[in-house]
Chain A
């Protein structure tokens, strides 16, 4: 799928009302995204689904940093998602660490893992990069399957339910779906702000330069390998953060969270929403999860419907939902 270029969009000379509006929207993208997230639990069928949209939206945004902006197609991001989730779960369940420290541990583990995988995978490019990331993530999957005394193996990790979020001075009932949603939303909003900040920084411009023309970026004097690695690690950490949130949300870590199906799901959501746009992956996660939720209530053949819709998007709207919307908006 082709990629919507934010930098270009931002640089588009103002042509009409819509374009001005668009550049304003782009400038205020983080507050507007957060506003959209605020109303999400009120319009979706359930809060549990809304929390999943937050989590998978964050995964897709993190993934998009690598895929949409740096141009590296990884098939192994489930490893970071799962590693963050398992590390958080084990920290709480086995070591009795409090939820905040457990989240930091989850992030640290995802970061270390993404450095290791990144160093090994960055040397390759194209399809080989995808295959190396896939192979490494399967390695993580089978390690988790074998280390069943730590991870619960096939049965998944259990026994670390977070029912109260303790802060100095007050606490929140994490079992209440609305409180849970908004607590997780705050963390996701911070992550979105962070991503926006990264994209607006010189680093953001460099990764896009690498995506557009690696040789030229190298000729300009940028250290391509290091930049790629940094982008890989940032992306891994964001997925790890989503993993820790998922562990706290579901109070279990299924082994499936490390499976390559999850990696595929992340790619699919990103493409559906629009790779290379800031909010696109979020829209993709929202669209995919809502379709799954609604259609599976009607029919057990829901996968057929979702599959057909996905194919239609690939064929006719290759920029994804958000990407198409943005380019339509821009052309007005």
Chain B
């Protein structure tokens, strides 16, 4: 009898446990429902090198991207859904970027990825996203990503590419018969810029009298400068990025290079100009995707700058930063247009999208998904000509968007 009671008691406990277990299971089962209700949020992954030599540019990218997301949320979201930006540090390392992107896709279940700030890193992200049918908007300069070998139907390239940048910069700086010496950072970026400049120089009829390679991240350029001076060029074209740009120009100027020739760079960087005195950069000419001074002529640039100033206490957006804004904004416009994040539909929308959010009308070319957009040519101002601390550059030219400065689809390996 007692045994029976014990048994009953045991059974009662086990029943209680069973109920508890059931409740637990129900709880767990209901979780995905809660998650799904929240899944209305559009999640955008944003890997970018928050640490490392390009941190300044990367932080600007993040701030601009966050602005695009905030503006979308302020007007009630996209297609009735909130937007969330998930920023991750890719440490300027391709392997790290691939891991972060896998995490964003597998764990955070993002709907699209925007970001990266180096050729190698964006190609790594591209490789991961294309195998998983994930939308990716790349916002860093690269020629390789346009070529058919790395093409992914899910990837769009919002940044300028070296070919178009150098074509426009050369058009406004090189002349028939100009003698050009190139000082090139010995890595993908430098080599792609050099290739672009030489291609443009050939068409214009400028002559290459020297090509000098310097290691990535070099601190001392003094050994290269006597060679440059002895070649007596009209133009010194310095193809490097980030801190290398400020360092090399500063040392060239110390040697009096600017008195004898013009210094041209593919991309004139806002943050690098700020890093040194105006005298150093004075008269240096280079390209850009964006400059805040566009607001005098382009209404959307004014709107973008004002929104940026309002969000970041009067700060202004910079060149690479603007990519974060235009990249995210174009993606959100496409998502809004189709009313969802279904990749195939968003791709179709992006391919036909005409968007003007900051710098004039842009569109993605169908074959390689390169953003056809205007290219600015800037000249760094003398200190006396600067109206404010942020008044760094004069816009020499605003070359309108045109496919003419891009490599043709067939040249990139695409059919027709």
Residues of A within 8 A of B127 (CB): 158-159, 161, 251-252
In the complex, whether B187 has a CB less than 8 A from a CB of chain A is yes
Q: CB within 8 Å of B: which of A240-258? A: 246, 250-252, 254-257
Q: B98 touching A252 by the CB < 8 A rule?
A: yes
Provide the residues of chain A in CB contact with B95, threshold 8 Å: 246, 250, 252, 254, 256-257
Q: Are A155 and B99 in contact (CB under 8 A)?
A: no
Q: Mark B104-132, 1 if CB is under 8 A from A, else 0.
A: 00110000000000011001101110111
A212 in the interface, Cβ–Cβ < 8 Å? no
Residues of B within 8 A of A153 (CB): 188
Q: Does B124 contact A156, Cβ atoms closer than 8 Å?
A: yes
Verify A48–B103 contact, CB threshold 8 A: yes
> Which secondary structure dominates where chain A touches chain B?
helix
Instruction: Give the complex CA separation of A250 and B131 in angstroms.
Output: 11
Q: Please, which residues of chain B bring their CB within 8 A of the CB of A47? A: 102, 106-107
Do A250 and B98 have beta carbons less than 8 Å apart? yes
Q: How far is the CB of B241 from chain A (nearest CB, A)?
A: 13
Find residues 141-183 in chain B having any chain A CB closer than 8 Å to their own CB. 144, 149-150
Shortest 8 CB-CB contacts between residues of A and residues of B: A254-B94, A48-B102, A154-B188, A46-B107, A300-B50, A250-B98, A46-B103, A161-B131
Please name all residues of chain B whose beta carbon is closer than 8 Å to the beta carbon of A246 when the two chains form the complex. 95
| Complex Cα spacing A163 to B149, Å | 18
Interfacial residues of chain A within 192-216, with CB under 8 A of chain B in the complex: none
Q: List the B side residues contacting A300 at CB < 8 Å.
A: 50-51, 55, 89
Bound Cα distance A296, B88 (Å): 8
Interface residues of B in 55-96 (CB under 8 A from A): 55, 88-89, 91, 93-95
| A158→B125 CA distance, assembly (Å) | 11
Q: Contact check, B98 vs A155: say whether CB atoms are below 8 A apart.
A: no
Measured between C-beta atoms, what is the minimum distance from A306 to chain B in Å?
Answer: 11
One digit per residue, 1 when the CB lies within 8 angstroms of any chain A CB and 0 when it does not, for chain B 363-385 equals 00000000000000000000000
Partner pick for B102 among A154, A155, A177, A254, CB 8 A cutoff: A177
Contact A48/B124 with A154-B187, A156-B94, A303-B51 known, Cβ cut-off 8 Å: no
| CA–CA, A296 and B132, complex, Å | 25
- Is the beta-carbon distance between A255 and B120 smaller than 8 angstroms? yes
A326 to B124, alpha carbons, bound, how many Å?
Answer: 40
A96 within 8 Å of B by Cβ?
A: no
Which residue of the partner chain B has the closest CB to A154? B188
Q: Are B150 and A158 in contact (CB-based, < 8 A)?
A: yes
Known: A153-B188, A155-B144. A254 touches B120 (CB 8 A): yes
Cβ contact within 8 Å between A254 and B89: no
The answer to whether A16 has its CB under 8 Å from any CB of chain B is: no
| Contact flag A156-B106 (CB < 8 Å), given A250-B95, A251-B98, A254-B95 | no
Q: Given contacts A161-B127, A251-B128, A255-B120, is CB(A177)–CB(B149) below 8 Å? A: no
A-B contact pairs, 28 of them (CB 8 A): A45-B103, A46-B106, A48-B106, A49-B99, A52-B99, A154-B119, A154-B187, A155-B119, A155-B120, A155-B123, A158-B126, A158-B150, A159-B149, A159-B150, A161-B130, A177-B106, A246-B95, A250-B102, A251-B131, A252-B98, A254-B95, A254-B120, A256-B93, A296-B51, A297-B88, A300-B51, A300-B55, A302-B51
Q: A175-B132, A301-B51 are in contact. List 15 more A-B contacts (CB 8 A).
A: A46-B106, A48-B107, A52-B99, A153-B188, A154-B119, A155-B119, A161-B131, A163-B131, A251-B98, A254-B93, A254-B94, A254-B120, A256-B93, A300-B51, A303-B51
Specify which of A49, A246, A251, A257 lies most central, judged by the most chain B CB atoms within 10 Å of its CB: A251
